[in-house]
């Protein structure tokens, strides 16, 4: 199935985890893709995994928390692709701590990268998306936006903001033909959750040593054995950003294996 044969896509966080899986899925379906990430090493890994499809892939080092970097990176992506049909905002970080011990700098860093960074990329991409074909934006919220994930107040706030912003943008740009949706991954194994994601500048959940693990009893997936692979989310993202999602906008899809019924 080559749903992306005529689509031009930009994926942030494309150097690891779900972002990387989404890049590879779009390439496998015939797309031309720009993978953006803060990690050159992560982007090199994505290119290596792209194999024969690497000629349809461009990688761009971009820090979504830096306005100048976003302006340069998005402009470069659009120039390479000759336009833009799909944008996936997968880049983000996760930090955990007791709220009373959380510094203002740490709280602002999470919000700056996750929420403000998503806004910056969307803003710079909008002119090209308005000219795109069945243009679609898929943002990354989280199950933490609606369900309690203890010790993650900043992360939850940033993801809740993304979810609300997605609804507002869907209404604002409906007449321009741009669809906005978000996904809520939960119980997914990735660089963000296991601490290996340099490209997401994450050190893993990093729970406090005295964390009450009883508070996490409701965070186990009902389906399968433990956390699912990033491909589980990438398939849904690819659907939403393709013509198959043509009648879906202003909503979110939870992908958590039944963690939150």
Residue 209: helix, strand or coil by DSSP? coil
155 is catalytic: yes
The three-point CA angle 166-195-18 to 5° equals 40
Catalytic residue among 119, 140, 155, 173: 155
The pLDDT, as a whole number, for residue 197 is: 47
Q: Which architecture, in CATH terms, is 8-255?
A: 3-Layer(aba) Sandwich (3.40)
- Residue range 50-54: mean pLDDT, rounded: 98
CA–CA gap between residue 220 and residue 167 (Å, rounded): 28
As to burial, measured by CB atoms within 10 angstroms (0-12 exposed, 13-18 middle, 19+ buried), residue 177 is middle
**What is the pLDDT confidence band of residue 3, given thresholds at 50, 70 and 90?**
very high
In sequence order, the 6+-apart residues with CB closer than 8 A to the CB of 141 are 159, 160, 162, 163, 166, 182, 183, 184, 252
Nearest to 90 by CA among 161, 19, 177: 19
Tens-place pLDDT, residues 150-188: 999 999 999 999 999 999 999 999 999 999 999 999 989
Distances (CA, A) of 121 to 49, 70, 125, 151, 244: 25, 6, 6, 28, 24
């Amino acid at each position: 199935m080559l749903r992306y044969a005529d689509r031009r896509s930009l994926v942030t966080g494309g150097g690891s985890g779900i972002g990387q899986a989404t890049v590879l899925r779009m390439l496998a379906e015939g797309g031309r893709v720009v993978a953006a990430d803060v990690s050159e090493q992560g982007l090199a890994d994505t290119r290596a995994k792209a194999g024969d499809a690497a000629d349809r892939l461009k990688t761009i080092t971009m820090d979504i928390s830096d306005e100048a970097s976003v302006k340069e990176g998005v402009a470069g992506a659009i120039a390479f692709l000759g336009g833009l049909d799909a944008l996936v905002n997968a880049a983000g970080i996760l930090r955990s701590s007791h709220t009373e011990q959380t510094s203002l700098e740490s709280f602002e860093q999470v919000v700056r990268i996750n929420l403000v960074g998503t806004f910056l990329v969307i803003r710079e991409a909008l002119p090209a998306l308005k000219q795109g074909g069945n243009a679609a934006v898929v943002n990354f919220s989280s199950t933490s936006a609606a369900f309690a994930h203890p010790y993650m107040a900043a992360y939850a706030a940033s993801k809740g903001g993304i979810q609300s912003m997605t609804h507002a943008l869907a209404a604002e740009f409906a007449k321009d033909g741009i669809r906005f949706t978000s996904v809520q991954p939960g119980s997914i194994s990735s660089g963000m959750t296991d601490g290996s994601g340099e490209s997401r500048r994450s050190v893993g959940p990093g729970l406090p040593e005295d964390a009450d693990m009883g508070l996490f009893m409701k965070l186990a997936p009902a389906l399968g054995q433990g956390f699912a692979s990033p491909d589980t989310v990438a398939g849904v993202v690819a659907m939403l950003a393709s013509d198959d999602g043509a009648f879906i906008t202003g909503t979110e899809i939870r992908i958590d294996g039944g963690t939150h019924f």
